[in-house]
Amino acid sequence: MFSSAISSGLVATLSLSGLALGHPARAASCDPVHIMIARGSTENTPGQLITLANDIIAAHPGTTYENINYPALLDPYYGPSVQQGTAAVKSQLTDYVKRCPDSKIVLLGYSQGAQITGDALCGGDAAGTTAPTPPIDAAISSHVTAVVWYGDPRHNVSASYNQGSATTDGLYVRPASQSCDAFSDRIASYCDFGDPYCSDGSLLWVHLTYPSRWDWPAAYFVDTKLGA
């Protein structure tokens, strides 16, 4: 579980982040590209990932986004929060795909948000903190065109889709039985050395500052998946 000292710093910093710039939230119509944002623990919606979402929207006019509706809580509620978040990703993704089967979907997840999107796609139990959940049906996940994760606690150093400087596993490393290899060509997972959640570091600032380091490469990655 996240330590109380680190958690306090995370609350103080992330709770102030996430000012949206007025781009459309969940739309009633179907759109060429639709982004789903899973914010990090304690963040207000949409969280720091709005900067990356804005970059994608600027490159792909007509793109919309929605927030994954989940608690994003830390200890002692982290496990239930992950469980609720994973269910929310599955529900919202399924609803959108059924309504808009021709849309390209981009999933963005920061910290706990990366964990819940990964668990929705690939299955997981958050290293025993939540009840086991199977991956979402392939008929739904096949509509996901690109996935970006910042500071994923389930970071597995051997995964082929890793980006960043981290050389160790995350707090809740993803085992082979819950592998995301089936999505490896659609995922970019950014984890840097010193991060206390996706790696084994002690530098909280590393975990909190992925957008300033990786938004441009991440936006470029999404562009390549969307065919820009």
Give the active site residues. 111
Rg (the chain; Cα; Å):
16
Residue whose tokens read 């390549």: 224
Q: Is 36 exposed, middle or buried (0-12, 13-18, 19+ CB in 10 A)?
A: buried
For the chain, first and last CA: distance in Å?
40
In one-letter notation, the amino acid at residue 20 is A
Distance CA 93, CA 215 (A): 23
Phi, psi of 190 (to 5 degrees): -100, 120
- What whole-number distance in Å separates Cα of residue 220 and Cα of residue 222? 5
Residue 149: beta bridge partners?
A: 109, 189
Rounded-to-integer distance, Cα 88 and Cα 212, Å: 28
